[in-house]
Amino acid sequence: MQKAKTVDKRLSRQEIAQKLSEYEEAIQNYPGQRRIAEEIDIPRSTIQHWLNRKNSIDADPEVVAFFESPAGTAFLHRLVLGAHFVITQLGPCGIRLVCQYLDLTGLNQFVASSYGTQQKVSVQMEQALVEFDKEEKMRLAEAMKPKEITVCQDENFHSDPCLVAIEPVSNFIVLEKYSESRKADEWTKAMDDATKGLPVKIVQSTSDEGKGIVHHVEKDLGAHHSPDVFHVENEIVKGTSAPLASKTKRASEAHEKATEKVNRSIKEKEAYFINKRCPGRPPDFDKRIEEARTKEEDARQSLQKAEEHQKQMKDAIKGISEAYHPFALDTGRMKRSEEVSTSLNKCFSEIEDVASSAELSEVSFKRIKKAKKVVVDMVATIVFYFLAIRAKVEALSLAPEVEEAVFENFIPAIYLRLVSEKAKGAEVREQLRRKSEELLEPLRAVMDHFQVLLWKR
């Protein structure tokens, strides 16, 4: 017999399991270990090492038999990859939790759970995902019809600026790339690379008011730039929230001190008349108490006013997001651009009134003024929205009555349903869904009528 060849390469876990399975199956019929080793082309010492390792695993023998089999090894491989994918890619956690998962489940008896080992797996997975993204994007792009899209763009900051763009309908990440700067040309180059080969045209972008990104959208892409309502509200919050909270805190402390002064004056009066009186006329305790109560009332009114300022500012800021809708949320009625402009300006007037009444600093007013400049662009976005949907609906060449139903019922109903999914509070969500259903009801009645006619035919 020929001598078994030396293993000239490192076998994979799956290959080892397969060879060991072949050996264990053969040993049942042929007790000669050396002969079987030659037949499966594995050194006898290697097989003995594999058997010793398998027998030393501290786990139930049936579990060991499964995970050391070819099917079990393949399943273990998928299990570890699945843990990495869910924990480190889909979830916000890191490699150390994968290691802990392996330890807690006892899988560390079959696969190394050290950070270094699992880090190599994580790196390989990330590289595979990047390659899959490139291949799959090109494959899908070939069958994709030309499409106009909106993107949400932003900049995250780690070691370098990270440019991010997401298509909001599909939640597809169009761009995620580190860049040297946030300048317009960097944005444009990154977006050109990200959309290369894709039959898409960017017609709208939502972002903050950074000069670079706005120039990139309006000049380079030739798209409509829509202000992000979060950044508009956040600018006001940064300018007013802390100052108003500070005034409320000081007013609350002043009220507490004034209340303590009243209580102390009352106790002093009681103690004076209980204890032995000193010679002479007693102090005018009633006057002291009255003055303390007057100051307490003034402090209470100041606190109440400060709390009202906070609430009024909060409601006015919230009103901006409520006004920035193309449809009235309570009725689904289409809103004119003038109406949106009036509502937004009313919110900012209330914000400015509160800031003046609370005597906020010049810095606060500068932030409010900066946010208010965006009102024109917010109204322009409402105009853009209606122009865009009208162009798409008219391109369908629908009958006049059908087109009217689409504008008056269908589109508002779908819009309210989308808003309901993001609204805060179960009651608000239910109201929006109910109104959406009310708008769709006439359309359902018409469809039912047509179905009956078709059935009769």
In a domain, 245, yes or no: yes
* CA–CA gap between residue 383 and residue 240 (Å, rounded): 30
**Band (43; pLDDT cuts 50, 70, 90):** confident
**Band (9; pLDDT cuts 50, 70, 90):** low
Give the per-residue pLDDT at 446: 66
Shared domain for 237 and 374, answered yes or no, is yes
Pick the last residue of a domain from 84, 109, 135.
Answer: 135
In a domain, 243, yes or no: yes
Please tell me the least confidently modeled range out of 74-88, 230-244, 396-410.
396-410
Shared domain for 285 and 332, answered yes or no, is yes
Pairing of strands 161-167, 172-178: antiparallel
Give backbone dihedrals phi and psi of 40, rounded to 5 degrees, phi first.
-90, 5
Task: Compute the CA torsion angle 46, 51, 53, 55 (nearest 10 deg).
Answer: -170
Shared domain for 282 and 341, answered yes or no, is yes
Shared domain for 212 and 251, answered yes or no, is no
pLDDT of 233 above 80: yes
| Terminal alpha carbon distance of the chain | 85
Shared domain for 313 and 386, answered yes or no, is yes
> What does the buried/exposed string (b/e) look like for 194-219 if buried means 16 or more CB atoms within 10 Å of the residue's CB?
bbeebebebbbbbbbbbebbbbbbee
Shared domain for 217 and 235, answered yes or no, is no
pLDDT of 426 above 50: yes
Pick the closest to residue 227 from 207, 197, 202, 250 (CA basis): 207
Task: Write the CATH number for 206.
Answer: 3.30.420.10
pTM: 0.72
Contact criterion met (CB below 8 Å) for 221 and 188: yes
Give the per-residue pLDDT at 45: 83
More confident residue, 222 or 16: 222
Mean pLDDT computed over 366-374: 95
Q: How many percent of the chain have pLDDT more than 70?
A: 94
| Helix %, strand %, coil % of the chain (to 5) | 70, 10, 20
* CA–CA gap between residue 197 and residue 423 (Å, rounded): 37
Mean pLDDT computed over 48-67: 86
Burial classification of residue 274, based on how many CB atoms lie within 10 Å of its CB (0-12 exposed, 13-18 middle, 19 or more buried): exposed
Pick the last residue of a domain from 395, 418, 450.
Answer: 395
In a domain, 270, yes or no: yes
In a domain, 298, yes or no: yes
Contact criterion met (CB below 8 Å) for 313 and 354: yes
Contact criterion met (CB below 8 Å) for 369 and 237: no
* CA–CA gap between residue 327 and residue 317 (Å, rounded): 19
Shared domain for 258 and 314, answered yes or no, is yes
As for how many domains the chain has, the answer is: 3
pLDDT of 453 above 60: no
Shared domain for 365 and 251, answered yes or no, is yes
Place of tokens 């402009």: 341
Pick the last residue of a domain from 135, 165, 183.
Answer: 135
**Band (24; pLDDT cuts 50, 70, 90):** confident
Mean pLDDT computed over 431-438: 94
More confident residue, 323 or 24: 323
Mean pLDDT computed over 319-327: 94
Give the count of beta carbons closer than 10 Å to the beta carbon of residue 328. 15
More confident residue, 9 or 107: 107
Mean pLDDT computed over 160-172: 91
Sheet with strand 147-157: strands edge to edge: 172-178, 161-167, 147-157, 200-207, 224-227
In a domain, 439, yes or no: no
Shared domain for 284 and 333, answered yes or no, is yes
**Band (454; pLDDT cuts 50, 70, 90):** very low
Give Rg (Cα) of the chain.
Answer: 36
The predicted-structure confidence for 111-157, as pLDDT tens digits, reads as follows 999 999 999 999 999 999 989 988 888 888 888 899 999 999 999 88
Shared domain for 380 and 261, answered yes or no, is yes
- Domain of 182? 144-227
**Band (26; pLDDT cuts 50, 70, 90):** confident
Give the per-residue pLDDT at 190: 94
In a domain, 431, yes or no: no
**Band (3; pLDDT cuts 50, 70, 90):** very low
Place of tokens 């595979």: 128
Both tokens assigned to 346: 């009313």
In a domain, 161, yes or no: yes
Give the per-residue pLDDT at 191: 94
**Consecutive H or E run containing 14:** helix 13-26
Give the per-residue pLDDT at 181: 87
Shared domain for 194 and 283, answered yes or no, is no
Give the per-residue pLDDT at 106: 92
Give the per-residue pLDDT at 11: 81
More confident residue, 308 or 40: 308
Please tell me the least confidently modeled range out of 18-22, 134-138, 275-279, 398-402.
275-279
Give the per-residue pLDDT at 8: 42
In a domain, 202, yes or no: yes
Shared domain for 266 and 360, answered yes or no, is yes
